[in-house]
Amino acid sequence: MSLALACLTALAAQAQGLRPSGAAGLPRLPSAATLLPPAGSPGAQLRQADYIVAVVNSEPITNNEVRQRAERVTQQLRSQGATVPPHELLLKEVLERLILEKIQVQQAKEAGIKVDDYAINQAEQNVARQNDVSVEEMHQRLTADGISAQRFREDLRNQLLALRVREREVEARVRVSDLEVDQYLQDQQKTAGPGKMELNLGHILVKVAENAGPEEVAKRAERAQTVRDKLRDGAEFGVLVQEYSDAPEGAGGGLLGLRPADRYPELFVNAVRQAAVGSIVGPLRSPAGFHILKVVDRTQGGAPTMAVQNHARHILLRVGAGLSERQVAERLEDLRQRVLRGQADFATLAREYSQDGSAKEGGDLGWAGPGRYVPEFQEALNALRPGEISQPVVSRFGVHLIQLLERREAKLTQREQRDMVRDQVREKKLDEAFTTWIQEARGRTYVEYREPPQ
């Protein structure tokens, strides 16, 4: 099993929705943005003298950069109960990933792509929220691990630059035809069988520390049972995810996504094998803690039959004409406050100010399932409860103010099923297109290897 498959929950929503695409045959290592060192990690240990391990065009990559990234990857994999690759192999993989990141950042800068400090602040807040800490506590933990807040923000900036150059060079060019959707469905039906079952599970994790004593384990077990009891009494799964779950996919409503059963932990598959769609299973004990699962969907043919859908509206202001992301965000925040104070109606403001095609409908986007929006928009939407309005959210289209109107778990129509399949096919094509693009960019780049990382 690849490193990506062994590390399901490490591939959660990342800062600003960075897509964890594979590249040049490399495993999908967790992003640096999500890899906060655990509290009490031995980060204050004496660092060895630094040296250059590689040069990308004229820019160096140092041994400390590789080692710090590798340490964070190792910590994350262990916290997920996944297998950590041999040290030399991990260092090699991390170095290759840093080379590819540097290539993308260089291309972004050459194209004049910039990332405003407002977007960095937003990404930083997202990472802190995903790790269930404040930004201040996150900085303290990073500092204890030898990573300054400035360095971490620079890592975020580089990841956002890489994302934007990928959007510009790859995403806008990928299209999916009806014929490709039909072919995908036909292929899935041909290969459907007992071994091809696909599941979409909702997941709540009550985490238990590795060194937890019996008393702490008992407290965590009681917390997990409280969640189970609330679900039995009719509480909404997505609400409890936000309140109780320690899993990184919590911002996505706890959904792990439709995937082959063999891409789930064996513990999960065995537990839900006989469970009906819509049922709750757990708490289940694993080395990571206590898990509570909801069977959202089960299919043999590759097309999902159920999905959590959001009904949202938004106001979009575009960046340009001398306006920075921060200035646009300040304008949207003023509109948000007017709505919250009862001085204005969201739909009326959308008709007046929004620069999106939905403006004439009061910003109403209708019902939509997962995958219909760009990642940063979807992440912000997932974090809202019905009636709530987001803070201004930066995407490649501009800055959005998002209001969630309703959320539902719905049986999909045939058209909605095809739309979700289209998204699956598009994701596959994006991965393939990105792999081709980054390999070509890698081939055009001067890379000099020096001393191997240690």
Looking at the chain, the whole-number percentage of residues with pLDDT higher than 90 is 20
Rounded Cα gap, residues 206 and 283, in angstroms: 9
CATH fold of the domain at 306-411: Chitinase A; domain 3 (3.10.50)
pLDDT at residue 3 greater than cutoff 50: no
pLDDT at residue 338 greater than cutoff 90: yes
Residue 123: predicted pLDDT: 86
Residue 43: predicted pLDDT: 45
Q: Which residues of 419-432 are buried (b: 16+ CB within 10 A; e: fewer)?
A: bbbbbbbbeebbbe
Question: How does the average pLDDT of the chain come out, rounded?
Answer: 80
What pTM was computed for the model? 0.61
Q: Can you tell me the mean pLDDT for 54-70?
A: 90
Exposure of 131 in the CB half-sphere (CA atoms within 13 A): 27
Q: Can you tell me the mean pLDDT for 177-190?
A: 80
Q: Are the CB atoms for 439 and 24 separated by under 8 Å?
A: yes
Tokens of 9: 């929950």
Domain range list for the chain: 3-169, 195-299, 306-411
Indicate the range of 11-20, 234-243, 367-376 predicted with least confidence.
Answer: 11-20
pLDDT at residue 198 greater than cutoff 50: yes
CATH fold of the domain at 195-299: Chitinase A; domain 3 (3.10.50)
Indicate the range of 91-95, 191-195, 323-327, 408-412 predicted with least confidence.
Answer: 191-195
**Which segments of 186-302 are extended strands (E)?**
198-207, 259-260, 280-286, 289-299
Does the fold of domain 306-411 match that of domain 195-299?
A: yes
CATH number given to 3-169: 1.10.4030.10
Q: Can you tell me the mean pLDDT for 439-444?
A: 90
Rounded Cα gap, residues 334 and 321, in angstroms: 20
Higher pLDDT, 195 or 450: 450
pLDDT band at 37, cuts 50/70/90?
low
Q: Can you tell me the mean pLDDT for 42-67?
A: 78
Residue 252: predicted pLDDT: 56
Residue 16: predicted pLDDT: 33
